[in-house]
Amino acid sequence: MPEHIIYVDDSGTDGKSKVAAAAFCVSTANRWQELLAKWNKIAEHAGFEIKNFHTTEFAACRRDHLCEQCKAGHTTVQDHPWQRWAEDKRENVLNRMAKAVVKYVDWGVGHSYTKADFDEHVRNSPARAVAKEPIAEEYVTFAIQRCGGSFAEWRAANSRDEHLRFVFDNSSPREKRDIAKVFFGAANNRGQHEGGIEQWFNPDDVAYESRRVAHQFGALAVLLAGSASGVKTAGRTYFSVTTKRITPPTIVQNRPMTIWLVNR
State residue 186's pLDDT score. 61
Q: Which domains does the chain have, with CATH numbers?
A: 3-263 (3.30.420.10)
- Mean pLDDT for 93-101 is 88
**Which CB contacts under 8 angstroms, 24+ apart, belong to 55-63?**
55/218, 55/221, 55/222, 55/224, 55/225, 56/221, 58/82, 58/90, 58/94, 58/225, 59/225
Q: What is the pLDDT of residues 208-235, one digit of tens each?
A: 998 778 888 888 777 655 444 444 444 4
pLDDT of residue 208: 92
Residues in a beta bridge with 49: none
247-259 pLDDT, tens digit each: 443 333 334 444 4
**Per-residue confidence (pLDDT) for residue 234, from 0 to 100:** 41
Q: What's the one-letter identity of residue 136?
A: A
Q: Of 212, 210, 181, which is closest to residue 51 (Cα–Cα)?
A: 212
In angstroms, rounded to a whole number, what is the distance separating the alpha carbons of residues 13 and 177? 15
What pairs with residue 259 in β-bridges? 111, 242
Proportion of the chain above pLDDT 70, given as a percent: 81
Which of 8-12, 162-166, 189-193 is modeled with the greatest confidence? Answer: 162-166
pLDDT greater at residue 260 or residue 197? 197
Pairwise pLDDT comparison (244 vs 262), residue with the higher score: 262
Query: Do the beta carbons of residue 128 and residue 251 sit within 8 Å?
Result: yes
